Chains A and B, each alone.
Chain A
Amino acid sequence: MKALLDLRVNGEGVRVAVPEAWTLLEALRYAAGLTGTKQGCDKGDCGACTVLVDGKPTLSCLTLAHAVRGEVTTIEGVAGPDGPDPVQRAFDVCGALQCGFCQPGMILSAKALLSRCPQPTDGEIREALSGNLCRCTGYTKIFEAVRLAAAGCERQVPVRYGEPAPGFLVVGARGRKADSIAKATGETLYTDDIQLPRMAHGKILRSPHAHARILSIDTSAADALPGVFATMTGADVPTAYCIIPWTPDETALAVGKVRYVGEGVAAVAAVDEETANRALALIRVEYELLPIVADAAAAVAPGAPLVHELDWKGRPWESNVCKDVDLSFGDVPAGFAAADEVVEGRWFYEGSNHAAIEPHCAIGRWSQDGGLTVWSATQVSHYLHRELAKVLGLRGEDVRVIQPALGGAFGGKSEPFDLEFCVAVLARKAGRPVKILYTREEVFYAHRGRHPMDMAFKVAGTKDGRITAVESDILIDGGAYHSFGLVTTYYAGQLLTGPVGFESYRFRSRRVYTNKPCCGPKRGHGSVQPRFAFECALDELADRLGLDPLEMRRRNVVGAGERTVNGQLVTSSGALACLDAVELASGWKSRRGKLGRGRGLGVATSMYISGTAYPIYPNDMPQSGVLLRADRSGKITIFCGANDIGQGSDGMLAYVISEETGIAPDDITVVSGDTELTPVDLGSYSSRVTFMCGIAAQEAGADLGAKMKAAVAAKWELPVERVRITFGAVVDSEDAGRRVTTRDALILAEAAAGTPLSAVGGYRTRKVGGDYRGGTIGASPAYSATAHVCEVSVDEETGIVRVERVWAAHDCGRALNPQIVEGQIEGSVYMGYAEAIMEAHTFDERGLHTGPNLLDYRIPTSKECPDFLASIVESIDPGGPYGAKEAGEGPLHPIIPAIANAIADAVGVRLRRIPFTPDRVLAAIREARA
């Protein structure tokens, strides 16, 4: 039922033939080639697909293409002949774009606002953008960008518009993200924007049962449907895999039995998604239903059914406990005996999903010589490369993984998923490229989000404010498979021991299998949950001891050069400075406890790793490699396997190379996340990229810089020590007038070398960590520190908690680009705020997700988000690149307990279960009064 469609788009007539059931979104993206308009939620819940129709912001995913009569403006039509529009410039200048996926829609909503209201108030800005969900920024820098656009943003901005730190060329300067203009104009290609010739579309049939044996699968009717190219089942790829090589318990599609509602059972490739959907409906699967394990408590109940019968070595599982860790440090009984007060209780942390606005997507293509290329929205192209080769039985050299621009990840794309294997198998069978794009529902089933944790904690302290003992017993609901679970189980204990230290510590954590989508590493992997319990207990302890909770934290800080109770070396610490900063900024001393009934302040801290010390698979090769190519053009290309997931790692690499060579960041191109072109980097997880790739880049950049200096020195016939690199030029340090541009320096170097210019650098594993089993998990070459104070108001009649503002101070070692660091802090605080206040990835007794879509699974809009006031503390780590440490995960942790502690200050109740929904808050207030 295709029909000709005439649209007016961006001032031009567009004629395409599209089905009458297609939306404007589909017509724009898949027929008119205007892929700047994004798709995030399927059905009008996220705003990524916003276009303007006659100037009005419109959801193109809920607009029938053939109903459109007006003038359509897409992001491609916003820039004019003179370049990007002032709104696009402002988004660039303010660092308002991270992954960039929601930004086309956001920018169009902002355009519509400014054309009808050129000088909007803050409230009007929040309102106008409230139908466009952003998952990266916490909206803070987006508001700034709209204000800047309203004030008139200059069309041209300098490439470096802040002052660098003293003694540096670019490090420390506020600067643009490498890719933000391309993202703001809709030029950037994400995986689903790629359309290959002859490409087929795949869909995956998913289990309607949480636990069932597969008796038979009949795909014959699907195979016979016209337009179907190939079908597959788990039998086509039975090799088990796991991101952690020790625990391979998962297959691409279910083999033998299904373990959660939504698990893949079979897949189809067809001429289009509609045909693939019709084919899925024709596949007959016969199931034998099994009793289900609905949650962690059920998993450990006597006589519980087993989610897995055999492990990866064929040994029978005796229970659903798939990892059990019990570690003790110091004299714990003595610690409790020495205490004046002990706070004891149980806290519960609900699961949550990453909810990146870009759904997972992958494309597989085979070449005639047997090579496989997979484009995928992944944050670990190297590990995906390894697992694809293993599962498909290929040589590593026959597989290439390319990560196109990524529309947010947060840990949700950090291991292989069924679609990546399925596109490969289906493409081979179909003899043509195959793309699979998840629906939002499938994203929730793929999950790998925050583990629900049921946590018993005991925290003991003395009247003089020492924390003498901490003991925890944590039950972790892992879902159906292992994922990173081995690491999660350790992280739940290992990452708690700073910045607030304690004298003795025992933790036991057990991760169990349940019949639910598999949990995994969401931003702040494994440690956000116990951090909530501990920082709440600590607050209560301070209260009972009559101490200021901020001061009590200060007294127990593990300082630089000290080891935590579990043996981790703190190489640098800005924890005290963070506490000072938020104490001052929030007016803590004069305001806490004095804001009146219903309003309160709360504090909390955290520490986080700058990369896990060791690679996931043991090896002696560098964890990160950087290769530079330079020539007479005056430009440099950086090749690095790192995955820019929106956090800005490409820009970080460009900054480091700019610092070492004097060549402006805008003259540096980054090629990343392509396993055929780039040296290996292990991927974007555990906040490792700035630290590890940064060091690799520093090494490569220094080498290239040395070549430039040597060539200039030789030409000037000076000792090389006299030659210095400045921004844009190489100069004689004793004669300021004597200089050559960096471009000319590259020409001299190329001539001197007689070869093209290159340089390499690597990050080599450093031996750190405690000397005990598990002592390397949680070990990191450097730890960040964070402190938050937040202010809340609590409506005692409704139970509604409003977080008014959050002061977040984070020690990132050194801020290479402070604007990007602020964005990471703001985005982290936003994500934690969301978990504390509203998000809940929950299941009913059938194992059915309670709302796998972005209307039922609610993530904050621009309207209710608090003001996030980020401040940067620089402790200058001795081992980090220029002293830098992580910034993308640590700042998430403290906000959840800080909100709980602020609620206690406001209304005197201590909440031990997230999210702090109004009905729970109100019940707690009433219970306290009764």
Chain B
Amino acid sequence: MLRMDGFTYRHATSWAHALELWSAHPDARYVAGGTDLLPNVKHGIFKPRTLVGLSGIAGGVELRDDSVKIGAATRLADLAEHPDVQRLLGPLATAAALVASPQIRAMATLGGNILLDTRCLYYNQTESWRQALGYCLKAEGTWCHVIGGPKTCVASQSSDTVPVLLALDAKLHLLGPSGAREVAIRDLYRFNGMDHLAIEPSELLTDVVVPRPGAGFRGSYQKLRTRDSIDFPQLGVAVCGEWAGDTATRLEIVIGAASPQPKPLRGLEAFLGRPLDDAAVLEIAALAHKQTRPQDSVHGGAAWRRQMAAVFVRRALTALRNG
């Protein structure tokens, strides 16, 4: 069995307590559900000396006039099954329900899904395997084996909820030693698989605030994967819009699992305010194809996944415009 070794565990009972524990152990890492972090510790990717556990902190969903506030500690299973989330933020509930397996959804938190480490076939492997490889740019090495170069890491942002949260323009509440701050989820991610999160190691993600969508909201999330459970996405496509019949007045499309950064499609303004006929849908699908540049950092083959981005976008729009 892969063993973990060499760290102490401190159990936080509140966000403030977690910060306090972190301050006492500045080399610590936070762990909530553990479903992303612990495999990486078992793989020797991280060798923490202290883990500060967040599993004692409660999550929850709070309805506000103009937004839905979701505690970052909310378990993905609870999020997926929450009636208000299903009613108001359907694609988010869909995405949460498509994460990994039932056990992982019962353990993993929304916050952890947002802060998920990037993934790569050359990175999420055991210490001995990575040693045989000669390591990689993201961990202990100097070379990216995906693109064959020493500069750019293209490990993939692989969260299912993130494309939807971007499409819904969610805001994140962060708490650090120097206080609280708010950041748009849109601004969280960088195109750098080695360091893809604009957040300090000391900072905690406490809440996710999702603006309540306007009238005529319809959206979807589609996930590409080999198996219908357990697998990370090979591609995730979130489409969120506000619709009057087959005319979108607001439209956001975000492609996930193709690169270190979730990718909002550009150029959709041109399609607002007019019926989305088949030709328009095909044009948007072509945009998706043009703007999605998957890398072979995850399963499925980059060229095929790129084609699938167009197929998924076309299918989503065709379904959504017809209500």
Contacts and interface: CB of A to CB of B under 8 A. Distances in A.
Interface string B1-12: 111111111010
Interface in A387-434: none
Contacts of A852: 125-126, 129
A63 interface: yes
B103 A109 contact: yes
B24 interface: no
B129 A858 contact: no
B307 interface: yes
B42 A42 contact: yes
**In which size bucket is the chain B interface?**
35 or more
B129 to A, nearest CB: 7
Contacts of B232: 855
B190 interface: no
Interface in B298-320: 299-301, 303-304, 307-308, 311
Interface stretch (A78-86, A126-134, A710-718): A126-134
Contacts of A359: 1
Contacts of A273: 1, 3
B11 A131 contact: no
Given A59-B107, A852-B129, A66 B9 contact: yes
A4 to B, nearest CB: 13
A2 to B, nearest CB: 11
Contacts of A21: 3-7, 9
Contact of B35 (A20, A59, A439, A846): A59
Contacts of A849: 129
Q: Which DSSP category, helix, strand, loop or mixed, fits chain A's interface?
A: loop
A43 B124 CA distance: 11
B303 A919 contact: yes
A261 B4 contact: no
A773 to B, nearest CB: 41
B53 A67 contact: yes
A64 B34 contact: yes
Nearest to B4: A21
Contacts of A26: 1, 3
Interface stretch (B85-93, B223-231, B265-273, B276-284): B223-231
A64 B128 CA distance: 23
Contact of B2 (A63, A69, A439): A439
A864 B128 contact: no
A126 to B, nearest CB: 8
B42 A57 contact: no
A850 B1 CA distance: 20
Interface in A355-410: 359
B131 interface: yes
Given A131-B230, A838-B226, A860-B227, A58 B107 contact: yes
B72 to A, nearest CB: 17
Interface in B1-50: 1-9, 11, 31, 33-35, 38-39, 42-43
A802 to B, nearest CB: 10
A261 B129 CA distance: 9
Interface stretch (A44-52, A344-352, A727-735): A44-52
A1 interface: yes
Interface in B136-179: none
Nearest to B126: A441
Contact of B107 (A19, A63, A69, A207): A63
A515 interface: no
**In which size bucket is the chain A interface?**
35 or more
A547 interface: no
A67 B57 CA distance: 11
A798 interface: yes
A122 interface: no
Contacts of B9: 20-21, 64, 66-67
Indicate the member of B55, B77, B230 with the most A CB atoms within 10 Å.
B230
A206 interface: yes
B180 interface: no
B63 interface: no
Interface in A269-290: 273-274, 277-278
Contact of B129 (A67, A274, A441, A797): A441
Indicate the member of B8, B77, B228 with the most A CB atoms within 10 Å.
B228
Contacts of A23: 4, 38
Nearest to A68: B55
A59 B9 CA distance: 18
Nearest to A1: B8
Contact of B39 (A19, A44, A57, A799): A44
Contacts of B8: 1, 20
A59 B121 contact: no
Contacts of B215: none
Contact of A66 (B11, B77, B104, B308): B11
Contacts of A69: 55-56
A323 interface: no
A62 B34 contact: yes
Interface string A771-798: 0000000000000000000000000011
A918 B104 contact: no
Given A67-B9, A273-B1, A798-B308, A50 B103 contact: yes
B121 A851 contact: yes
Contact of B1 (A19, A42, A128): A42
Given A43-B42, A863-B228, A20 B7 contact: yes
Given A21-B6, A62-B38, A62-B39, A863 B229 contact: yes
B303 A131 contact: no
Nearest to B97: A127
Contacts of A47: 101, 103
B110 interface: no
B6 to A, nearest CB: 7
B136 to A, nearest CB: 12
A278 B43 CA distance: 14
B191 to A, nearest CB: 25
Contact of A64 (B31, B43, B77, B300): B31
A848 B4 contact: no
Interface in A213-261: 261
A439 B229 contact: no
A209 B102 contact: no
Contacts of B34: 62-64, 67
Contact of A109 (B51, B102, B227): B102
B230 A855 contact: yes
A57 B106 contact: yes
A797 B318 CA distance: 15
A698 interface: no
Nearest to B56: A69
A863 B121 contact: no
A861 interface: yes
A819 interface: no
Given A43-B2, A208-B131, A131 B229 contact: yes
Contact of B230 (A45, A206, A441): A45
Contact of A42 (B2, B7, B100, B104): B2
Given A130-B101, A209-B132, A850 B228 contact: no
Nearest to B2: A42
B103 A131 contact: yes
Nearest to A60: B103
Contacts of A863: 227-229
Interface in B62-105: 77, 100-104
**Which 9 pairs of residues, A with B, have the shortest CB-CB distance?**
A131-B101, A130-B229, A863-B228, A919-B304, A208-B132, A42-B2, A21-B4, A43-B39, A20-B9
7 contacts: A21-B3, A43-B43, A63-B107, A64-B31, A848-B129, A855-B231, A864-B227
Interface of A: 1, 19-23, 26, 39, 42-45, 47, 50, 56-59, 62-64, 66-67, 69, 109, 127-128, 130-131, 206-209, 261, 273-274, 277-278, 359, 437, 439, 441, 797-799, 838, 846, 848-853, 855-856, 858, 860-864, 917-919, 922
Given A1-B8, A21-B7, A855-B124, 9 more contacts: A42-B2, A43-B2, A62-B33, A130-B228, A130-B229, A206-B128, A799-B304, A852-B129, A919-B304
